[in-house]
A and B are shown apart, each in its own frame.
Chain A
Amino acid sequence: MNTDIKNMPKDLFELTPVDNNMNEKIERPSLTFWQDAWARLKRNKGAMFGLIVMSIIILLAIIGPSMNSYTYKQQIQPIKNYTKLHPRVQGLEKIGIANGIEKSGKNKYIEKGIEKDYFWFGTDELGRDLWTRVWSGTRVSLYIGLLAALVDLLIGVTYGAVSGFYGGKVDIYMMRVIEIIGGIPSLVVVTLFILILQPGLLSMSLAIGLTGWMGMSRVVRSQILKLKNQEFVLASRTLGASNFQLIWKHLIPNILGQVIIMTTFTIPGAIFYEAFLAFIGLGLPAPNASLGVLINDGYKFIKAGHAYMMVIPSVIICLLMLGLNLFANGLRDALDPKMRNL
């Protein structure tokens, strides 16, 4: 091998054509913010697991109640044959789980002569099908979570945006108000609200949403403070955009990522509060079911050997919360890599 560069024959070299147009060529397809976030989310195993768990639960909440002929408040007649039946699932009963046999060894399905019936999650003390009740309960819990998040979103974003955008005295006073309201433990307020408004779907979401918006408005405010002096805001102000337009058309879309992250964390919180209220006796009124109500109802029979009544809704609420939390964490990492902390 000839290593003497100076004495190399000229004909070994060949001139490469330089195309100046190629310098600026973009090799990879350009991604929008959302495409980029989705790509990052897809790589996050935890978030994907959360998304799958969440999707399965949501799907079952939608189709579950109509998978058999019972309704969530229907007491199957004759009631005395259908109370406290343990879970029994076709197929699974052959391998010894969910076969309807109680711990004492008796099988109520055979005793009562209803072997042809299968209650996948069993029945409760009033002879209602728990499969239907659990999934319509999940539906109610999700509904409360979403509604609370919506209230949270409306108040929190507006308050934070106004406070951050106008700044100065307005900001100082608005933040003082938040400091004072934030000093009240939210559980106390939620409980008091429900005592007065009476438990119901709307009142619960309202009470939970009303106590949770402070965090959201703090985040929105600090983001708006950061953004409002940037050139693009100045540009559209110069072009004659009103304050309202500036906030809603230019600033909020830029902090949408943060807002979405906060919202995904609100939903599991609201579901928790609902279950909490049900457990201290402030749950939805009687025939209605929510996961909290079901856990509370089932808890009364746990010592009598009917653990399934409580364990099943408990497992579902835990899975739902787990799915939501994992997904929210992943979303935070994907939308805002700087905030990554878990």
Chain B
Amino acid sequence: MTSPARVPLLRLEDVHVHLGRSHVLQGVTFEVAAGGVTALLGRNGVGKTTTVKAVLGLVPRVGTIELEGRDIARLGTPAVVRLGVGYVPEDREVFSTLTVEENLRLAEQPGGTAAYDRVHELFPELKTRRRQRAGTLSGGQQQMVAIARVLLGENRVLLVDEPTKGLAPKLVTEVAELLERVAETTTVLLVEQNLAVVRRLARDVVVLDAGAVVHTGPADDLLSDPDSAKRLLGVASRRSA
């Protein structure tokens, strides 16, 4: 729970999204406090990715969405991103015909200095592979590019959608470590199915079901209670990673 005096970094209130004939988001309301990782959880198809896209304006939405108190619900995607919202999409979506270097260059924000030092320190492999076409990278390497992109500028919040999907266990750990380091300086809203990762990273959780929020609270509380975890997430919450 945030103290009333402090404005939450990201706030959604009664957000609705219709896609085709489906009413995908039916009044989503939650807050993301500044600092650390907030995990967005729920079974498949409940609307987690759609929620992230709604914040960015990638789907038409109605309702209230505020970034540090500023209304962004009516802004187009580029404007939202320029306010400091970084997006790491599900399926990475790197530009396969561009080189690694070009993928990063595209992500440079105008007017600021790009933090290449930080990126090369976190992802040394991207420096050696910088002239390689992104389409020929492995899944894990593409994920690095996708995360590196949002670290070049000074983003206030990162929306990260299932970064460990489809990765081998060793890479999952690597990505989790990475996100842990990133979260030291930037707030992260993380959509994730892998509960071990959530357990490691998340401070708070927001659980969705059928297009609405059904639970919010500290991560530890939810994850240490196997019954609620099972009920809300449909999976058993194992104690060991």
Specify whether A and B are partners: no
Interface residues of B (CB under 8 A from A): none
Interface residues of A (CB under 8 A from B): none
